[in-house]
């Protein structure tokens, strides 16, 4: 199997994992990123707690077999990037960054890491970022609804004319 370099980035929700992975990818040409967020099961398969809230913060909410399959496919046919070695020379080594909030809780992944990082941020900053994301989502939905209403009104006007 070809020599590869795999970086695991995990940490708290809204802690900057995806941002860091994307920024590293920009600076490491042809580097690949796999995000654990892309492997959530459909809502119908997510368990609920006793209060009726969907439990997304557990490994069972993720299709880890599918994620492992995606990683295996990358390992079989990786993209390449130039990496400096300890001796100072540069060689072509494929780099994969895997990011997600529960990476280090899934034991089969632990054998892959050449480097692993766990990001933390203060609780108040985490809450602030969550509120910002929720606000962006609400604004996006509001714009979509407004656009749909405008299209509907225009359609009704056309029918009436």
Q: Which residues are catalytic?
A: 37
Written as six digits, the tokens of 161 are: 């004319």
List of residues 6+ apart from 38 with CB closer than 8 A? 67
β pairing state of 95-99 and 5-11: parallel
Residue 121 · residue 130 · CB < 8 Å: no
Task: Please state, in angstroms and rounded to a whole number, the distance separating the CA atoms of residues 138 and 128.
Answer: 15
């Amino acid at each position: 199997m070809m020599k590869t370099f795999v970086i695991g980035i995990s940490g708290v929700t809204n802690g900057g994992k995806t941002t860091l992975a994307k920024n590293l990818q920009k600076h490491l040409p042809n580097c690949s990123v796999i995000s654990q967020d892309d492997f959530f099961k459909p809502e119908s398969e997510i368990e609920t707690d006793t209060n009726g809230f969907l439990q997304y913060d557990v490994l069972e909410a993720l299709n880890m077999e599918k994620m492992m399959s995606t990683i295996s496919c990358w390992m079989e046919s990786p993209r390449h990037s130039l990496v400096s070695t300890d001796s100072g020379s540069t060689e072509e080594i494929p780099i994969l960054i895997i990011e997600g909030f529960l990476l280090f809780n899934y034991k089969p992944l632990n054998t892959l890491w050449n480097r692993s990082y766990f990001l933390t941020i203060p609780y108040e900053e985490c809450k602030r970022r969550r509120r910002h994301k929720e606000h962006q989502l609400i604004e996006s939905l509001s714009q979509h609804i407004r656009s749909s209403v405008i299209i509907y009104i225009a359609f009704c006007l056309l029918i009436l004319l």
